[in-house]
Every structure is written in structure tokens, then in C-alpha cells.
A and B are shown apart, each in its own frame.
Chain A
């Protein structure tokens, strides 16, 4: 069965500092990985997809199959980045498609 682990429940940094939110996964097949973000009082929204290799709001994430990791990084944190971040993995089989979330990391960016 697939599993997503985010080892840090809370990450607190100062504005302008680098940020790395860790994500490790276990899945026997070829994974499709995502980062979702939930700002205060807002809905859960897609931040990044590993397949697109894009940078959104200054965040990047690289899939490392050897280390089974998909860490989220930003070189200079901003106060508006404070939110709950979820790493998620998609499994597709004959029954359909399932998105499984990690436990989440709350990022607090202090002024």
C-alpha cells in the first residue's frame, strides 16, 4: 500500500530564510506526486505537480526516486507563505484514482 510521510508537523522560519518541507513516500509502482497548500480559511489547493517540473510562488520540488522523496523548497520565505502544506501521492488502478495525503506540515514564517 502507498504511504506518504511528512516528518515535521511544524516548521517555523524567519522571513527571507530558506525553506525545505520534507516528504517521503513508499509505493511499489511509478508515483505521481503533488504538493497541496491550505491557507487560513481557504480551500485546499494544488501547489505543484512533480510531472510538470514547474515553480509556483517561488516553490520547487524535485522527485528523487532513489531516496523516495519529494521535498518542497523555497530559497526566501515570505510571510504570506504561512499555511498548511500537504504532500500527496496518486495511485491509479483498475478501480480508479486515489489521492493519498501525508500528515501535513504547518509552515510559519515570522517577520
Chain B
């Protein structure tokens, strides 16, 4: 399996809802990432997990809460989001936190709409 799988593909949520995005990989990668991509913009890094520990938080608001239950899974818990949080949320993985030479593998993303 050489893919990163993200669910759901689409999500519409209200500003008072709580929802979660899920990401899974079975490539044995030990670093996983959440990115946010607005329309016609490049992906922007949100969080980095290295060996299941949160190592980088790019000053993301607390209404986004990441979780790494094990080396294959990465979740992003959402609560009290704003309409401006509507975007494509991408998950990625890489071999490990230091081995960047092989590049990142990206999932197809969850398109989130906050109403």
C-alpha cells in the first residue's frame, strides 16, 4: 500500500459542530502532517507529528486539535470552526522526521465547508 487515505472526502459542518478528519497510511512512515489549502493557494503547514509525537504546531488556533493514536493514524478534531476555515485539508506522510530525501506522500484531502 503506497497511499495516504483521508476520510471523509467532503464535510459540511456548522459553526457549533464537532467533527473529525481521519488520515491513514500503511507505508511504515513515521512522520505525518496536516496541511490546509485554500483555493488557488499552495498548501500551508499546520502540524507535524514525528514518531507519534507532536513536534511542530504552526500557531494553529486551538479549534483545530490534532491527534496521533498510532503510527498509522492521524486525526484532526474540529470544534467551533469559522466560515474562513473552509478549505481543503491535506494529510501527508514521510519516511521519518529527518529523512526528507524521499519527499512526502499526500492524501487526496478532505474538502471542508463551514456554514
**Do A and B belong to a common assembly?**
yes
On chain A, the residues within 8 Å of B41 by CB distance are 103-104
Instruction: Report whether B104 and A99 are in contact in the complex, using a CB–CB cutoff of 8 Å.
Output: yes
Q: Considering only CB atoms and an 8 Å cut-off, how many residues of chain B contact the other chain? A: 27
Instruction: Report whether B42 and A49 are in contact in the complex, using a CB–CB cutoff of 8 Å.
Output: no
Nearest B residue to A44, CB-CB: B106
A86–B44 CA distance with the chains assembled, in angstroms = 12
On chain B, the residues within 8 Å of A104 by CB distance are 41-42
Extra inter-chain contacts (13) besides given A96-B56, A97-B31, A99-B100, CB under 8 Å: A34-B103, A36-B106, A44-B43, A45-B106, A46-B105, A51-B101, A86-B43, A92-B98, A97-B48, A100-B45, A101-B43, A102-B42, A103-B42
A interface residues with partner B (beta carbon < 8 Å): 32, 34, 36, 42-46, 49, 51-52, 86, 90, 92, 95-104
B interface residues with partner A (beta carbon < 8 Å): 31, 33, 41-45, 48, 50, 55-56, 90, 92, 94, 97-109
